[in-house]
Structure 1
Amino acid sequence: MTDWFRSWHGAPTDPKWLGIARKAGVAPGIAVAVAWALMDRASQADDRGSIAGYDADGLACFFGCDPEQVDAIVSAMEEKGVVDGGRLSNWEKRQPKREDTSTQRVKEYRERNKVGVKRDVTQCNAPEADTEADTEVEELSPSLPSEVRPLAPTERGSFLNPDWAPSDAAMALAITELGGQAEASRTLEKFRNYWLSKSGKDGRKRDWERTWRNWVMTEMDRGGRHGKRTGSGVGNPPRGPTKSELNRAAMVEVLTGRADSRLSASASPSRWADGGPEGAGGS
């Protein structure tokens, strides 16, 4: 028993499903879904290719139709020749004779390499009979063994996903450094809008988390919305005074005014004793 089965290009939109759906009186999507469920069952059956004992009730529940409709689809598949004698027709033709496990296929692949098969050198000059062997090598990819390393991610990076968001830790740092949730959210919106509008190589980044942290640090250097200044003196206009700051300023003005009044009162006798304004200049 294998853990996969083969489909073919164009299978989901094969016109024959339209005829089967019409005969069964169901939507084409339901006919295709039931057909694929039957393929899955046939692949897992001890007698591979057999759909005997399929669960009409279970499939109907899963695909949102009636059990009678599932049976009608199977009957239509039989009329169309897709099912014959309780088996999927051409199963042996469409599915490989090498119905082995991925471990066995990998083992055979390594054995072929041991006897000196170098496909990367001889493939272009290989005879037509070698085509099947080349295909087998390509078909190992769905179930590569754990020791086979996958290809490294592209060095060019990737574009920003519209749903991208920084990690909780990175967002918490932005909230702290930028002065609150509102400013951090506003900065994130600017970040997304900027990078989503970028195209070409300039819009690709290998580490969007690091790009976000750099963006936040740049906002801090510019002063954000809090008027923080950098060494170069570049920053946004400072925020206006708060209510408490205005109250303190008013109190200072009141106290300063009273102090000036007392000072003026104490200074008046000596000033006018010297002759007042006229005497100040001398006679």
Structure 2
Amino acid sequence: MNREAVVVRTSTSALARWPEPPRPPVPDAVLAVVRAIHERYGEGITAAQLAAEVYVSQFHFSRVFTMAVGVSPGRFIRAVRLVAAKRLLLSSTLSIADIVCEVGYSSVGSFTSRFTATVGMTPTSYRALDVADRLVAVAPGFYRIPDGVGVLSPAAEDLGRLTLRAGFPGAGDADVFVGLFDEPVPHGEAVASTVVRGARSGDPISLEVPAGNWWVTVAARARGAFLASRSTVEVRPDAHSFLTLLLREPEVTDVPFAATVRTRPASVVSLRRTA
């Protein structure tokens, strides 16, 4: 199989005209808690404290929050703290101990253990390596896609092909990231990924990926806006899977994440235009 990502350029794009499907409203109490998490994660807040602040039992609060946001309040807090820590590691000269205090962990040891288990490297290694150049991040005020062009995937015997069409408003071009991860809220490395420059809404992006069930993250920079979407996909050996996603601007209730692409040399992305 040919190890490269292929973008088949189309002359028109129906996806550019598709309206975004309506999303169920988030309860006011959940929205207030999400905003409180983003504002106060450095204070060491807990899910139990947040439930008490909205005057409901912790069990009921957790159930309603999970239904509205997609993850438990505890997991949302951990995701916010981890992304904040990554941002500080990459953009500041603060010591690890200072970062621990900034993001609300109780000790350097507990932070280092959780960070290493979740990300796959220590905080010190994260800061020292070329992580900043390989980063995809979708979080309030922290939006990034990697600069590299090409498809990155591990050598594997059981490979399939995924073709994805990403729709976004307007008729302009965008830089599009497609990444497959082994967890719903990615924090480590992508299983496979590609970055395509100058893609148009609805262009099929096709790449080889290992067989398995994966969570797909798509992010795009388009005309000064940052758009994203997530889904799941099953890829079977020597088979072709298809997925269509409509991108939208991230919302405060989206679970934040910051992950990286692999460092194996990328093959060149090819572009073909059809009439």
TM-score range normalised by the length of the shorter chain: under 0.3
Q: Larger Cα Rg: Structure 1 or Structure 2?
A: 1
Higher helix share goes to which structure?
A: 1
Higher strand share goes to which structure?
A: 2
More contact order relative to length (CA 8 Å, sep ≥ 6): 2
- Provide the TM-score with structure 2 as the length reference: 0.21
- Provide the TM-score with structure 1 as the length reference: 0.21
